[in-house]
């Protein structure tokens, strides 16, 4: 049986476990790789993998992970739901590797959230197409229609709260309240990072709210010598300010969240091009990741706080926010 490249990522820890059970001593580790399980796994593979296994595949390199990330991000940006769903086996295998490679541990929570998107895309592809309904009045900001919202509520309904949510939420909600933004939106940290303040994406986003470097600087954050995106309170204030500004521009939380994920300029251009006013009208023209992101955030608010999309309050007046 041929073994795919993703499966290879699992081999290093398995070989280590099998070797630990045997009598043959493991090969010596390089002096500078005390905690590098990848290097240890490679050495174990070279020393102990059966010849027939070595004939079938080459031990993976870190470059393979980097190449995988580029492809995944491109698909999330320009691919279809079906294209994204096809990544499920490869992404799950890559996540297993991240859990044991020390230098990539901060990427693990990022990839776990992407796998959640991939699984949702797979489910969404199974939803049968329905005939176009008769024209209806456009949804109001008080009762927005969010495509794929019900799918995400179903996925989130029985999901346990992230382990560190209760540790960070009081501080995050305090920051959101200080910026005049509904405190329930502090749960954005679950979608963005699973409440890991050190989470990072290969694109450069970091922290509880996955702020990109330029975005963080625009919100007054410093990235050197200390990256303040990893500071829970500072990142929460920055995220809340950004969300407030996006709501001020677009006038509705679905569009503000779409802009948070896809970029303010892109959402503005699509709205103008299509002469549209709502997220629902432009959802199919947004990146696949954004089409999945917005309903996931709203489903999280529903499950964690009991807040339906239309019940999320507008920002309070700036004069009373501080």
Token pair belonging to 50: 């059966």
Q: Residues 78-90: what's their mean pLDDT?
A: 91
Note the pLDDT of residue 306.
96
Note the pLDDT of residue 33.
32
Note the pLDDT of residue 258.
98
Note the pLDDT of residue 42.
62
Adjacent-strand bridge partners of 206: 200, 211
Return the top range by mean pLDDT from 47-56, 59-68, 302-311: 302-311
Per-residue 3-state assignment (H helix, E strand, C coil) for the chain: CCCCHHHHCCHHHHHHHHHHHCCCCCCCCCCCCCCCHHHHHHHHHHHHCCHHHHHHCCCCCHHHHHHHHHHHHHHHHHCCHHHHHCCHHHHHHHHHHHCCCHHHHHHHHHHHHHHHHHHHHHHHHHCCCCCCCCCCCCCCCCCCCCCCHHHHHHHHCCCCCCCCHHHHHHHHHHHHHHCCCCHHHHHHHHHHHCCCCCCECCCCCECCCCECHHHHHHCCCCCCCCCHHHCHHHHHHHHHHHHHHHHHHHCCHHHHHHHHHHCHHHHHHHHHHHCCCCHHHHHHHCCHHHHHHHHHHHHHHHHHHCCCHHHCCCCCCHHHCC
- Say if residue 231's pLDDT is above 60: yes
- Say if residue 170's pLDDT is above 60: yes
Q: Residues 96-120: what's their mean pLDDT?
A: 80
Walk me through the domains of the chain, giving residue ranges and CATH numbers: 5-56 (no CATH), 149-320 (1.10.530.10)
Neighbours of 270 (CB within 10 A): 18
User: In angstroms, rounded to a whole number, what is the distance separating the alpha carbons of residues 135 and 271?
Assistant: 19
With CA atoms as reference, report the closest residue to 3 among 115, 93, 72.
Answer: 93
Distance set, CA 276 to CA 259, 272, 279 (Å): 15, 7, 8
- Say if residue 159's pLDDT is above 80: yes
Note the pLDDT of residue 40.
57
Note the pLDDT of residue 206.
94
Question: Please, are residues 282 and 267 in contact by the beta-carbon 8 Å criterion?
Answer: yes
Q: Residues 181-191: what's their mean pLDDT?
A: 97
The alpha carbon of 51 is separated from its chain's Cα centroid by a whole number of angstroms, namely: 39
- Say if residue 41's pLDDT is above 50: yes
With a CB cutoff of 8 Å and minimum separation 6, the contacts of 148 are: 120, 124, 291, 292, 295
| pTM for this entry | 0.77
Mean pLDDT of the chain: 81
Torsion angles phi and psi, residue 86, rounded to 5:
-65, -15
- Say if residue 57's pLDDT is above 80: no
Note the pLDDT of residue 20.
34
- Say if residue 186's pLDDT is above 90: yes
* Sign of CA pseudo-dihedral 107, 111, 112, 114: positive
Q: Residues 21-41: what's their mean pLDDT?
A: 41
The alpha carbon of 284 is separated from its chain's Cα centroid by a whole number of angstroms, namely: 20
User: In angstroms, rounded to a whole number, what is the distance separating the alpha carbons of residues 91 and 118?
Assistant: 9
Q: Residues 306-314: what's their mean pLDDT?
A: 95
Note the pLDDT of residue 142.
42
Question: Please, are residues 208 and 196 in contact by the beta-carbon 8 Å criterion?
Answer: yes
Note the pLDDT of residue 98.
72
Token pair belonging to 153: 């509520």
User: In angstroms, rounded to a whole number, what is the distance separating the alpha carbons of residues 129 and 294?
Assistant: 21
Residue scoring higher pLDDT (45 or 138): 45
Share of the chain above pLDDT 70, in %: 74
């Amino acid at each position: 049986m041929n073994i795919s490249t993703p499966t290879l990522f699992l081999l290093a820890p398995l070989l280590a476990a099998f070797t630990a059970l045997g009598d043959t001593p493991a090969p010596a580790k390089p002096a500078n790789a005390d905690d590098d399980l990848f290097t240890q796994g490679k050495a174990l593979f070279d020393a102990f993998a059966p010849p027939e296994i070595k004939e079938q595949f080459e031990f993976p390199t870190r470059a393979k992970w980097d190449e995988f990330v580029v492809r995944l991000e491109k698909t999330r940006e320009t691919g279809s739901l079906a294209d994204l769903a096809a990544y499920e086996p490869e992404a799950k295998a890559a996540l297993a590797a991240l859990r044991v490679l020390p230098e990539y541990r901060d990427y693990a929570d990022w990839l776990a959230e992407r796998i959640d998107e991939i699984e949702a895309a797979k489910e969404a592809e199974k939803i049968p197409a329905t005939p176009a309904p008769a024209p209806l009045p456009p949804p109001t900001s008080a009762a927005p229609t969010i495509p794929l919202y019900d799918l995400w509520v179903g996925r989130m309904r029985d999901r346990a709260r992230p382990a560190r949510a209760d540790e960070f939420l009081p501080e995050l909600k305090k920051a959101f309240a200080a910026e005049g933004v509904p405190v329930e939106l502090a749960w954005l940290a679950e979608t963005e990072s699973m409440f890991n303040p050190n989470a990072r994406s290969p694109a450069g986003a970091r922290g509880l709210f996955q702020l990109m470097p330029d975005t963080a600087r625009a919100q007054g954050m410093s990235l050197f010598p200390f990256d303040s995106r990893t500071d829970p309170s500072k990142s929460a204030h920055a995220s809340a300010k950004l969300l407030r500004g996006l709501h001020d521009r677009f006038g509705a939380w679905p569009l503000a969240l779409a802009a948070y994920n896809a970029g303010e300029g892109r959402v503005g251009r699509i709205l103008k091009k299509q002469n549209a006013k709502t997220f629902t009208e432009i959802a199919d023209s947004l990146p696949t990741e954004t089409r999945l992101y917005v309903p996931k955030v709203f489903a999280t608010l529903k499950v964690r706080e009991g807040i339906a999309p239309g019940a999320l309050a507008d920002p309070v007046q700036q004069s009373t926010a501080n």
